[in-house]
Amino acid sequence: MSDGNARAPLSRDRVLSAALRIADVDGLQAVTMRRVAADLEVEAMSLYHHVRNKEELLDGLVESVVGEVLTEVGLAEAAASPASGDWHASLRRRCLMARTVMVRHSWAPGLIGSRPTIPAPLYLYFEEILAVLIGGGFTYHLAHQALHSLGSMALGFAQELFNPADSGGQVDEGAAEAELAAMAERLPHLTTMVAAELHDHDEDPLGWCDSQREFEFTLDLLLDGLARHLQTGPVRDRTER
Amino acid sequence: MSDGNARAPLSRDRVLSAALRIADVDGLQAVTMRRVAADLEVEAMSLYHHVRNKEELLDGLVESVVGEVLTEVGLAEAAASPASGDWHASLRRRCLMARTVMVRHSWAPGLIGSRPTIPAPLYLYFEEILAVLIGGGFTYHLAHQALHSLGSMALGFAQELFNPADSGGQVDEGAAEAELAAMAERLPHLTTMVAAELHDHDEDPLGWCDSQREFEFTLDLLLDGLARHLQTGPVRDRTER
DNA sequence: TATGGTTGCCTTACGGCGTAAGACTACGAC
DNA sequence: GTCGTAGTCTTACGCCGTAAGGCAACCATA
C-alpha cells in the first residue's frame, strides 16, 4: 500500500518550536526529550539528529525568545522614531517592548538566568542598546555600567524574588498570605503595608502588586539615575564613598 | 561485639547542613538525596524521616542562607550605628553585607530565584528593611515600590544575565570571547567597549568586569533615586508619562 | 540499472534521579 | 517480657538524558 501520510521531515526548527510550545503551555519542566519527541510523533532519540543534546535545545529556546525580542524591538523602534537621538526614550521603549515578549513566555527569565552560555542573538541586542547609549553621549565606561545596572530589565524582566510563574509550576497563592498572617505580630510594618496597598486596590488581593507599574518605576529610577550621571560629567565615577 | 562506633543520630539540621556543604563545594546540582545520604553515611530513604521531600530540603537550604543573611546583617547593623536614622546608609550597609553572604554561597541566588514559595525568614528580613524605610520617612506606598526596585539587591545579589557560578557547573570562559571575536565586525560598539575596559584593567581578562563595583554602582543608582523621590514629595508617583 | 554511502528514524539499554511500600531493628513504657 | 514506635534499610517503579547500533529510504555514481 502507498504511504499516503508520510510525516513531515523533522528539522531543528520544528524541534525548537515544539519545545517552545510545550514550555508556553505546560511550563519549562515539561520540556523533556521524550515529551518533545512525542509531540512531534517521533521517538526521543530522533531529536539528537537535529540537536546535540538537551542543553543545546535549551540554548535554542533562549535564542528563540531573544530573537523574538530583537525583531519586535526592532519593529517598534523603527516605527516609533525616525532616528531621534533621545537615548532615554529609546531605551525605555525597548525595555517595555522586551517585557511584552517576556510576558508571553513566562518561563524565559528563569531559563535565561540559569544558562551558562550567552546566546549569539543577545550580543546583537546589547550592541543595539550600547549604540543607543554611545549615541546619547555616554562614555564606554559609563555605558558599561549602564548595561550592568539595567541588567535583566534590558531584556524585559526584573529579578522577582520567588516568582511563581518562572518554573511553570502551580502556586499556592493563599499559603503566602496565611504565613504572613501567622507571623503578623512579628511583622508590624509588613502587615501595615500590605493592608494599605490592598486598600488602594480595593479587593483583588492577587493583583495588589502591579508588576507592570513596578517594572516601570524601577526602570525610570535607573534611567533617571543614568541621565544624572551623564550630566554630572562623562568620566565621573563613584568607586569612592 | 559491642558496637563502639554508633553513628550520631540523623536530624533535620544535620541533613540540611550536609546539603549546604555539598552545594558550597560541588554545586547545587550535586545536591541529590542519594548524595546527601551518602555524605551522612546513610541510605537515601532515611532522609525522608527528617525532610518531607527534596523540595522541602531545598526550601531548608534557602532558609539557611537567608538566616545567615539575617544574623550577619543584624550583627553588622548593631555594631555600625547606635540607631542612627540614616536609612540610606543603613540600607547600603545591609545590601553589601548580604552580598558577602551570597558570595560565600554562589548557588543561592539561582536557587532563591527559582523557589515557588517564600521562606519565613525572608519575611523577617524584609520587615527590617521596611522598618528602616518607614523610619526614614518613606510612605508605605513608596516603601513598597522601593522593596520591589531593590529586589534581589536587598539580598545581596543582582540578576546577572548568564551567571556561570549560579548553576555550579564548569564554564567555558574562552568560548564567550571567541564568539564575540567571531562577530566582531557586526558588533563594533561592543568590541570597542570591551577593548576600552580591558585597557583600563590592563590584562586580567577574567576580571575586567568588577562585580563588586558594578553592584555598588547600581545600588547607589537605586538608593539615590529613591532619596530623590523622598524629597520630591512622599506621595509623588510616576505612573504617568 | 546496480551499488554503496549517507541521512534520518527507531529500538534497546544503561545509569541516575525522586520516592512509594514495606521489612527490619532498637528502644522506651508498661 | 511485650508491644508500640521511631529510625533505618531494601527493593522497586517510573521518570529522565543519552550511548550504541540497526534499519530503511534516498541519491550520486559507475
- What are the residues whose beta carbons fall under 8 Å from the beta carbon of B109, sequence distance 6 or more? B102, B152, B155, B157, B163, B166
pLDDT band at residue B4 using 50, 70 and 90 as cut-offs: very low
Size of interface A-B (CB pairs under 8 A): 196
B44 touches strand D (CB under 7 A): yes
Mean pLDDT of B64-84: 88
Mean pLDDT of B20-33: 95
pLDDT (tens digit, 9 = 90+) per residue, B104-162?
Answer: 999 999 999 888 888 889 999 999 999 999 999 999 999 999 999 998 999 999 887 75
- What are the residues whose beta carbons fall under 8 Å from the beta carbon of B188, sequence distance 6 or more? A127
Distance from C-alpha of A27 to C-alpha of B204, rounded to nearest angstrom: 40
Are residues B114 and A110 in contact, defined by beta-carbon separation less than 8 angstroms? Answer: yes
% residues pLDDT > 90 (chain A): 63
Of A203 and A147, the one with more pLDDT = A147
Q: Give the pLDDT of residue B82.
A: 67
Distance from C-alpha of B179 to C-alpha of B194, rounded to nearest angstrom: 13
A48 touches strand D (CB under 7 A): yes
Q: Give the pLDDT of residue A196.
A: 86
Q: Give the pLDDT of residue A141.
A: 93
Nucleotides of chain D in contact with protein CB (under 7 A) are 6-11, 15-21
Query: What is the total residue count of chain A?
Result: 241
Architecture of the CATH domain B59-171+213-241: Orthogonal Bundle (1.10)
Of A65 and A82, the one with more pLDDT = A65
- Gap from A22 CA to C7 C1', in Å? 28
Of B9 and A56, the one with more pLDDT = A56
- Gap from B32 CA to D10 C1', in Å? 19
pLDDT (tens digit, 9 = 90+) per residue, A83-132?
Answer: 677 999 999 999 999 999 999 999 999 999 888 888 889 999 999 999 99
Of B134 and A179, the one with more pLDDT = B134
Amino acid (one-letter) located at B30: A
Q: What are phi and psi of A56, to 5 degrees?
A: -65, -35
Site of grid cell 545590601: B95
pLDDT band at residue B198 using 50, 70 and 90 as cut-offs: confident
Q: Which nucleotide is nearest to A11 (CA to C1')?
A: C8
Q: Give the pLDDT of residue A204.
A: 52
The verdict on domain A10-51 having CATH code 2.120.10.30 is no
Please state, rounded to an integer, the average pLDDT across all residues of chain B. Answer: 84
B54 touches strand D (CB under 7 A): no
Q: Give the pLDDT of residue B207.
A: 54
Distance from C-alpha of B146 to C-alpha of B158, rounded to nearest angstrom: 15
What are the distances in angstroms from CA A143 to CA A149, A162, B21, B182? 10, 30, 39, 22
Least confident of A75-79, A220-224, B19-23, B177-181: B177-181
Of B175 and A6, the one with more pLDDT = B175
Mean pLDDT of B227-239: 67
Are residues B153 and B95 in contact, defined by beta-carbon separation less than 8 angstroms? Answer: yes
3-class DSSP assignment, residue A20: helix
* A14 CB-side CA count, 13 A: 16
Neighbours of A10 (CB within 10 A): 18
Question: Does residue A74 carry a pLDDT above 70?
Answer: yes
Neighbours of B230 (CB within 10 A): 20
Chain A residues with CB-CB distance to B70 below 8 A: none
Please state, rounded to an integer, the average pLDDT across all residues of chain A. Answer: 85
What is the domain partition of chain A in residue ranges?
Answer: 10-51, 62-171+211-241, 180-207
> Smallest Cβ distance to B145: which of A148, A180, A214?
A214
CA closest to C1' of C12 belongs to: A45
Distance from C-alpha of A161 to C-alpha of B115, rounded to nearest angstrom: 8
The alpha carbon of residue B109 is apart from the nearest alpha carbon of chain A, in Å, by: 9
Query: What is the total residue count of chain B?
Result: 241
Are residues B18 and B37 in contact, defined by beta-carbon separation less than 8 angstroms? Answer: no
- What are the residues whose beta carbons fall under 8 Å from the beta carbon of B145, sequence distance 6 or more? A214, A217, A218
Of B80 and A17, the one with more pLDDT = A17
Chain A residues with CB-CB distance to B200 below 8 A: 141
Least confident of A26-30, B74-78, B159-163: B159-163
> Would the CB atoms of A149 and B218 count as touching at under 8 Å?
yes
Mean pLDDT of B197-212: 66
Distance from C-alpha of B78 to C-alpha of A213, rounded to nearest angstrom: 35
B49 touches strand D (CB under 7 A): yes
Chain A residues with CB-CB distance to B226 below 8 A: 221
Distance from C-alpha of B47 to C-alpha of B64, rounded to nearest angstrom: 18
Chain A residues with CB-CB distance to B118 below 8 A: 161-162, 176, 179
Q: Which nucleotide is nearest to B29 (CA to C1')?
A: C17
Domain range B8-51, CATH class: mainly alpha
Q: Which residues of B94-123 are buried (b: 16+ CB within 10 A; e: fewer)?
A: bbbbbbebbeebbbbbbbbbbbbbbbbbbb
% residues pLDDT > 70 (chain A): 82
The alpha carbon of residue B125 is apart from the nearest alpha carbon of chain A, in Å, by: 10
% residues pLDDT > 90 (chain B): 61
Cell numbers describing residue B9 = 543520630
> Would the CB atoms of A127 and B175 count as touching at under 8 Å?
no
pTM of the model as a whole: 0.88
Site of grid cell 533562549: A62
Q: Give the pLDDT of residue A205.
A: 47
> Would the CB atoms of B117 and A175 count as touching at under 8 Å?
yes
